[in-house]
Amino acid sequence: MQRQPAVAGQFYAGSASRLRADLDRLIRMQEPKRSVRGIIVPHAGYMYSGTIAGIAYGSVRIPDAVLVLGPNHHGAGEPAALYPEGEWLTPLGSVGINSSLNALIIQNTPLVKVDSRAHALEHSLEVQIPFLQVLHPDVTISALCLGGGDYQALRQIGEGVAAAIRAYGADVLVVASSDMTHYESAESARIKDGLALERVLALDPEGLLRVCRSERITMCGVVPAAVMLVAAGALGAYRAELLAYGTSGDVTGDNSQVVAYAAVAVD
């Protein structure tokens, strides 16, 4: 199956030359690269969140296999939908689906179902792929689109992902795609996001879900972030670091109604 770009020309440039130039500008290359279990990166339009994402991607080593976790903004398809075998297309070309990793995820996570419908229009995973292509042209991916769920269900998925990665036998980077607070003042966003990021940095996925719900923190990718934290913890992660934080107001100059973005590395 071939997944066509849904938001090229909207969230990011539709031409290969422009997209490559944008990514060269956005990715902040750092040496030496860190080998990490997972990262949290934003998924808004590149003009708003690309710099934050670029800081994360420029600081970590991209292995041959990457599992991208994103929220389901449209509600289509299965609650935990793994894209089938095939490839993803972007203006930069195609990225192959890692069939071995896909099979292991299905084998180890009964709640995950193979389903392309959840992915058809979803931008949260798509915007991550060009970053990976530029940094590792031969990268392969697995793509998991996640809806809601209680902590026990998300813990089962995270532990299953960890078991799949162990069985895979090589490094896999888990990318959790998430923006932070939506459509509040920059000041309010920083306060609320500070509470969420405190739980992320404590490697506390259950606490992250709890605080987002109790404080009404509109972190759209809280479910992918929680699953990534569970998986990273099961794989031996011992620390998390906030790499960058910002808001759309940093770009537009309007701090009255912002969307906020964070980059976090977990190793």
pLDDT of residue 41: 98
> Residue 173 contacts by C-beta under 8 Å, 6 or more apart in sequence?
36, 37, 38, 39, 60, 61, 62, 63, 65, 66, 67
Query: Is residue 255 classed as helix, strand or coil in its secondary structure?
Result: coil
- Mean of pLDDT values over 33-51: 97
Say if residues 105 and 164 touch (Cβ distance below 8 Å): yes
Whether the predicted model's global pTM rises above the 0.85 cut: yes
The pLDDT of 177-199, averaged and rounded, is 98
Average pLDDT over all residues of the chain: 97
Examine the pLDDT at 148 and tell me if it is beyond 90.
no
Range of the domain at 31: 2-266
pLDDT at 149 over 90: no
Crossing angle, helix 16-26 and helix 46-59, to 10 degrees?
60
pLDDT of res. 53: 98
Over residues 201-233, the pLDDT tens digits come to 999 999 999 999 999 999 999 999 999 999 999
Write the pLDDT tens digit of every residue in 46-68.
999 999 999 999 999 999 999 99
Q: Give 119's DSSP letter.
A: G
Dist CA 216 CA 149 (whole Å): 16
Q: What is the CA radius of gyration of the chain?
A: 17
Total domains, the chain = 1
CATH of the domain at 192: 3.40.830.10
